[in-house]
Structure 1
Amino acid sequence: MKVLVNGTPLLAPLTGIGQYIRHLFTAMDRLALVDLCTVYGIRIEDGFQLPAATSAHTAQRLNRLLQRWMPFPRATRHVLQQALFRYRSKAGLKGAIYHEPNYLPMPFDGPLVLTICDMSCFDHPETHPVERVHVMEKRLPAAIERADHILVISEDSKHALQRWFDVPDDKITVTYLAADARFRPRDNAQLQPVLSELGLDPQGYLLCVGTLEPRKNLQTLFTAYAGMPPALRQRFPLVVAGMSGWNTGALMKDAQNLIHQGQLRLLGYVKDEQIPSLYAGAAAFCYPSRYEGFGLPALEAMASGVPVVVANRTSLPEVVGPAGMMVDPDDVDAMRESLLTLLEDGSVASRLANLGLQRAATFSWERCARETVQVYEHIAQVRGLEG
């Protein structure tokens, strides 16, 4: 069975969707479950592999040039990508199933599997750029109608999708994500080389990972952290790893005092090979996001043996379960008290770290890959495609 997957998000610094594509199709390729073809920007290649760094850098430079010189770069790129996709996909892909993991599919004359990670553009449009919301409102309904089957990454995402669109249960499958095997506990000797590069000490910082954007709720975290005793803030600086997203002006203003005191460090984009050690070296992990389709960073922290505090909203309780502390994302005091407990009470931190390891082990990319292939097989049977 031939499957065409859009891997274009792999050409940019990896966000949640990029990580989903990377791990799902790496597992699928390793298991040799289907015959994969992958779209990388304007080309289609046999098999699945992460694009070379040079390809990713070239794509990023091209995007910057388009943004600088073209008045409507997003629309222009979209039209160009659609035309090239339609042209290239006609050759040698007859009978293929097209899997679009990033919401909005390209033109394709064949079966479509669509992954919808969350419905935040509809549930909380104020947390996205206006242009993105308009594009989703305009194009997603038709994509959902066109899709043979829709994959979601949590029960919460399924319920959100069905609140907005009349999609029957038998057209939706929940496939949980997982933490990659790279995320595991590490001793100080293993951690030291990477953490030294980042200017950090093992078990000497509080960590948060995610794009700097409104729905990640970092302002509440900064306020909670700023209310902790100064001595504890000096001992455990707050480290945030993630690219700057949009509408970060107010957030950066709130952060300045902590940054000047050396108690808040914004690392920006962290190299992929450094991320596992950054997780494993943290004393505690906080993920105060108001809205998540799954919340993979929390699971990655748990797999790394780090106790977590998460918001008690959307999919996070579903993923973390009883293995972490949960707080209302608007309750500054509760967030502060939870962080204090993890940083000051070693017995609680150790117990939750162990529970987190057990919980993370129940999720598997191999299972996600096999469940996704079962969807392909069902569509192939219904459509009468050759195996």
Structure 2
Amino acid sequence: MKKFRIGIDARLANGETGGIQQFIIGLSHGLKLLALNSQEYFFLTLENQDEWLRPYLPDNAKIIHPKPPRHNLAHQVIKSIKPIRAFLEKHPLFLNPSINRVPESDGTFEEHGIHVIHFTNQSAFKTLLPNIYHPHDLQHVHHPEFFSPRQRALREKRYKDFCDRASKISVASEWTNRDLQKHFGIPSEKIVVIPLAPVIQAYMPISTEALTSVQKKFSLPEQYIFYPAQTWPHKNHIGLIKALAHLKNKYSIKIPLICTGFQNDFYREIRKITSSLSLNDQVKFLGFVTPDELQAIYKSSCFLIIPTKFEAGSFPIWEAFNLEVPVACSTVTSLPEQAGDAALLFDPDNIEEMANAILSLWQNPGLREILKKRGLQKVSGFSWEKVAYRFSEIYRELASGLNSNRELI
């Protein structure tokens, strides 16, 4: 049987990219469930950075690595000098041709006879092979304050370039679809909307013994609210912490908060605010956790809180729905579309409104039960097998249309 070779870009360090890593795990799990004999999968991972992916790989998959990068020594030395690096961040086009230089393929996929490339994250590269590209979101357009001038220039240039070069562009929501069309002028027929599923579906269910072990390991409170997110500014940990301080100061109500996720540079600012509001005993950051630990923290929580200021789509909302955990989330971007009537919504920029939503769900077990049932019903139609099937059809379509003399294997 002739087979299509699909290259899947998985160049991630474990724990550093949050939702993108979850997407790749879910996609791999779905492809494993499909077990298609007509396709082979080549996952491109960083050297010594593939252990997070291996448990979920299909039987017809291989791990491959990119070639070692070539470094411009003079450019690296210049960038290593802090004042110069700071200047280049503020003046991105000054002696900085890398802004306009789009990365090119190192030949790894081509040498493995790949027919279609699936770029799962924004950091793609130029190639003549048919490809699917995921821009994920245009946060730099809506919240430029969270990015340096250089970061904004890079995103604007490269996202547009990769979208133009892509055979298909994939997004997870109609909101992002409309946003891409409006900002980049992309034809609607080039974009496919494929709603994702809870990555929890790819994990082995946690045992009662393991759940108890995690509760003891982290000394989880008997009741708490949960927020799993990397500590980016737009995730709005600070707004959430201020809402908890408002409840403490106005009503003398202390609601414990457990946070998980990779702690980047902005974490220091979050900790300063937490300390200044005297909430260190109320707010706990656990960092990046294992799949078992994540499930246990969800299952032991009172409800999930998503105070984000921007989100193309929220994996935690799907995960909470799947595990029958109530949800309160912000009204931004695609979240009202995703959550529907299965979550309690609030304005993330209104601290009092957020605090009132938290208090309402905290004190109302009847409302929590209603949201549990609605959430489970909302997510019941989503699975990674369905997601993988949609992508496998696109792989087949693009590979079948190759303008190449290469024979399929």
Instruction: Please say whether Structure 1 and Structure 2 have the same fold, judged by a TM-score greater than 0.5.
Output: yes
Q: In the alignment, what sits opposite 1:3?
A: 6
Checking the alignment, whether the CA contact within 8 Å between 1:258 and 1:264 is kept in structure 2 is no
Q: In the alignment, what sits opposite 1:293?
A: 312
Of 35, 41, 50, which aligns to 2:40? 35
Of 335, 344, 348, which aligns to 2:354? 335
Residue 360 of structure 1 pairs with residue 379 of structure 2: yes
- Deviation string, structure 1 residues 71-96 (Cα, Å, up to 9, x no partner): 64899x99xx967x5232332315x1
Equivalent runs, 1:184-195 vs 2, <5 Å: 191-195=211-215
Checking the alignment, whether the CA contact within 8 Å between 1:113 and 1:149 is kept in structure 2 is yes
Q: In the alignment, what sits opposite 1:55?
A: none
Question: How many pairs are equivalent?
Answer: 365
Shift of 1:25: 2.1
Residue 110 of structure 1 pairs with residue 129 of structure 2: yes
Checking the alignment, whether the CA contact within 8 Å between 2:30 and 2:386 is kept in structure 1 is no
Structure 1 pair 213–238 and aligned structure 2 pair: CA distance change class (3 A): same
Residue 220 of structure 1 pairs with residue 239 of structure 2: yes
Counterpart secondary structure, 2:401: helix
Alpha-carbon distance in structure 1 between the residues aligned to 2:289 and 2:324: 20
Counterpart secondary structure, 1:86: coil
Of 133, 143, 147, which aligns to 2:152? 133
Alpha-carbon distance in structure 2 between the residues aligned to 1:124 and 1:218: 16
Higher Rg: 2
Equivalent runs, 1:7-18 vs 2, <5 Å: 7-9=10-12, 11-18=14-21
Alpha-carbon distance in structure 2 between the residues aligned to 1:186 and 1:164: 43
- Deviation string, structure 1 residues 326-347 (Cα, Å, up to 9, x no partner): 0111122221111111111111
Alpha-carbon distance in structure 2 between the residues aligned to 1:112 and 1:336: 45
Q: In the alignment, what sits opposite 1:22?
A: 25
Amino acid at match of 2:257: L
Q: In the alignment, what sits opposite 1:87?
A: 107
Alpha-carbon distance in structure 2 between the residues aligned to 1:159 and 1:209: 27
Q: In the alignment, what sits opposite 2:302?
A: 283
Checking the alignment, whether the CA contact within 8 Å between 1:209 and 1:242 is kept in structure 2 is yes
Shift of 1:51: 9.6
Structure 1 pair 29–384 and aligned structure 2 pair: CA distance change class (3 A): farther
Amino acid at match of 1:300: E
- Deviation string, structure 1 residues 271-298 (Cα, Å, up to 9, x no partner): 3331111111100111011111111112
Structure 2 unaligned spans of 5+: 58-65, 86-95
Give the TM-score taking structure 1 as reference length: 0.84
Equivalent runs, 1:102-181 vs 2, <5 Å: 102-179=121-198, 180-181=200-201
Checking the alignment, whether the CA contact within 8 Å between 1:152 and 1:172 is kept in structure 2 is yes
Structure 1 pair 12–44 and aligned structure 2 pair: CA distance change class (3 A): closer
Equivalent runs, 1:47-66 vs 2, <5 Å: 49=54
Give the TM-score taking structure 2 as reference length: 0.79
Checking the alignment, whether the CA contact within 8 Å between 1:86 and 1:107 is kept in structure 2 is no
Checking the alignment, whether the CA contact within 8 Å between 2:135 and 2:159 is kept in structure 1 is no
Structure 1 pair 377–188 and aligned structure 2 pair: CA distance change class (3 A): closer
Q: In the alignment, what sits opposite 1:56?
A: none
Residue 302 of structure 1 pairs with residue 307 of structure 2: no
Structure 1 pair 70–322 and aligned structure 2 pair: CA distance change class (3 A): farther
- Deviation string, structure 1 residues 207-246 (Cα, Å, up to 9, x no partner): 1110111111122211111122478754x41111122234
Shift of 1:365: 1.1
Shift of 1:145: 1.0
Residue 198 of structure 1 pairs with residue 218 of structure 2: yes
Counterpart secondary structure, 1:370: helix
Checking the alignment, whether the CA contact within 8 Å between 1:324 and 1:356 is kept in structure 2 is yes
Alpha-carbon distance in structure 2 between the residues aligned to 1:32 and 1:148: 25
Shift of 1:190: 5.5
Q: Percent identity?
A: 24
Amino acid at match of 2:296: S
Checking the alignment, whether the CA contact within 8 Å between 1:183 and 1:304 is kept in structure 2 is no
Counterpart secondary structure, 1:383: coil
Structure 1 pair 132–233 and aligned structure 2 pair: CA distance change class (3 A): farther
Shift of 1:255: 0.9
Structure 1 unaligned spans of 5+: 53-58
Shift of 1:381: 3.4
Structure 1 pair 6–72 and aligned structure 2 pair: CA distance change class (3 A): farther
Q: In the alignment, what sits opposite 2:334?
A: 315
Checking the alignment, whether the CA contact within 8 Å between 2:206 and 2:295 is kept in structure 1 is no
Amino acid at match of 1:194: V
- Deviation string, structure 1 residues 150-188 (Cα, Å, up to 9, x no partner): 001111111111121111111000111111326799897
